[in-house]
Amino acid sequence: MQRTLKSAIGCTGVGLHTGRKIAMTLHPAGADTGIRIRRTDLPSQPTIPVNWKNVVDTRMATTVSDGNGASVGTIEHLMAALAGMHIDNAVIDVDGSEIPVMDGSAAPFVFLVECAGVAEQDSPRRAIRILRKVTVRDTDRSISLMPGQGFTVRFEIDFDSQAIDRQALSVQLVNGTFKNELARARTFGFAHEVDALRRAGLALGGSLDNAIVINGNRVLNKEGLRFSDEFVRHKIIDFVGDLYLAGAPIIGEAQCACSGHALNHRLLSALFADERAWCWSELTAEDFAHGAAPTWAESAVAAHA
């Protein structure tokens, strides 16, 4: 069944790109609401449905807009946590144009969901089942989404830095995998890019407290890495968060090579442009109870109702 929060819960933090202090509150929401972000700092308090059609910027983060001037950026870590914790419906209040970055990972948002508690709702949860392979490419970057059981992500990165080098990881997002294996992985950047990013109005709130910073072949953070392959784990967080903008969980297998926010968004655009590539499926209680290699019951409604 669909899930929401049991109670409201809030936090404050700094915007990674704006550098401004931001207060955020997660609220329960009714079945079939989806994820919505409300800008409480604007006069009309506009609400933005968080879905791929409302993406307006993918430079260094994912930003959504209501089409009337209100936007919220850096949503991917929060969206990944909501996906990983199976939260279908929530209204998120923010008093700024960005979700707070916290420590640069998804773990603080997982913690918020756990503290608020999870409530099961009366409506069945639907997923987007992949029926045929969809691929998008951009020079040496690519993503393929193909049929499969559950949701498996295979991700590979390759950076010209010995601190990162080439890393690859495959994870199936069941049985707490997101919380235990991915959530704590932090965002990262290179010291030599900081000045250019800040001239472009980006990374104004970035620091060693909320990002891994690499200088040449060295990690500057005194505490080091949380995982030996923390970089590829964080890229999977970004991917999971961006794909949750599909509006429902994905049932299939993703193979990603060096992809980022822009290509992640292109993948959703390509998927929904091909009606033969997907259909709606209803999840059964047993699917989540056992969590491995589930069988998916097709929805009684038409495939694209």
Catalytic-residue membership of 261: yes
- One-letter amino acid of 164: I
Q: CA–CA distance from 296 to each of 68, 189, 287, 293 (Å)?
A: 39, 39, 8, 10
Which residue in 4, 55, 58, 49 sits closest to 28, CA to CA? 4
How does 64-101 read in b/e, with b if 16+ C-beta sit within 10 Å?
Answer: bbbeeebbbbbbbbbbbbbbbbbbbbbbbbbbbbbbbb
Residues 6+ away with beta carbon under 8 Å from 251 = 127, 128, 129, 130, 148, 149, 150, 151, 281, 296
Which sign, positive or negative, has the C-alpha torsion 100, 103, 109, 115?
A: negative
Beta-strand pair 3-5/9-14? unpaired
Instruction: Identify the active-site residue in 17, 77, 234, 261.
Output: 261
Tokens of 130: 């992949």
Q: CA–CA distance from 46 to each of 88, 94, 144 (Å)?
A: 20, 11, 35
Point out the residues that are catalytic: 261
